Amino acid sequence: MVQEAEQVEEDRKNRWGKAAKVSLGVLGGLSLLMGYISAAGMKESERESEARKPIDDFFAAFNARDVEKGRRTLHYPHIQIAGNDVSILEAPEAFHIDFQSLADEGWTHVTLDSCSMRQNCDEKVHFEVQLSMHKGSNSRYATYQALWIVTRKNGIWGIQCRSIFPSGVRLS
């Protein structure tokens, strides 16, 4: 009888020991999986942040009326698509902004209203962009929707293509 009780106790310990090992194995596997998912999410978040920087720098250069700084945010050849008009800028010198023409229409600055990553991989990110043109301190007179493609070349992110709908909402 004592021997049977000892055997029952030993079997109970073995079952709990096996269950604990299985549970720890499952928890360890889940922990690794969650770490992988978290790292993948972090990698995507870092990629979005890095790829967005040239866009933010482009808008800063535009508002500073600094064409040279604007040129440095782009990769070449650079593709511009406005409606169905396509321009391919082979070199930085081909990029121009007619600030006088903008000033003649009352333009004072541009805002990046939204910039959302839509697709991405290690070397390319697509951003859906909305920008607005302003007169005076805060009077918006035009809003445009666009797709900007940012690529990484030799470890550097730059805007490779800007496609804009020129029929933006113009508020006069």
pLDDT more than 90, % of the chain: 63
User: How is domain 52-170 classified at the CATH fold level?
Assistant: Nuclear Transport Factor 2; Chain: A, (3.10.450)
In this structure, are strands 169-170 and 156-164 parallel, antiparallel, or unpaired?
unpaired
Domain boundaries in the chain?
Answer: 52-170
- What gap in Å lies between CA 101 and CA 115, rounded to an integer? 26
Amino acid letter, 170? R
Contact at 8 Å (CB) between 136 and 108? Answer: yes
Phi and psi torsions of 132, nearest 5°: -130, 145
What distance lies between CA 83 and its chain's CA centroid? 24
Q: Does residue 169 or residue 157 have the better pLDDT?
A: 157
What's the mean pLDDT in 18-32? Answer: 52
In this structure, are strands 74-82 and 169-170 parallel, antiparallel, or unpaired?
unpaired
Please report the pLDDT score of residue 12 as a whole number.
64
Tell me the per-residue pLDDT of 59-117, one tens digit each, with 9 for 90 and over.
Answer: 999 999 999 999 999 999 999 999 889 999 999 999 999 999 999 989 999 999 999 99
- What gap in Å lies between CA 55 and CA 42, rounded to an integer? 20
Please report the pLDDT score of residue 1 as a whole number.
66
Long-range contacts: 93-100, Cβ < 8 Å, 24+? 95/67, 95/70, 95/71, 96/67, 97/62, 97/65, 97/67, 97/70, 99/65
Confidence category of residue 166, pLDDT binned at 50, 70, 90? confident
Residue 77: cis peptide before it, omega within 30 degrees of 0 = yes
Residue 41 in this model has a pLDDT that exceeds 90:
no
What distance lies between CA 86 and its chain's CA centroid? 24
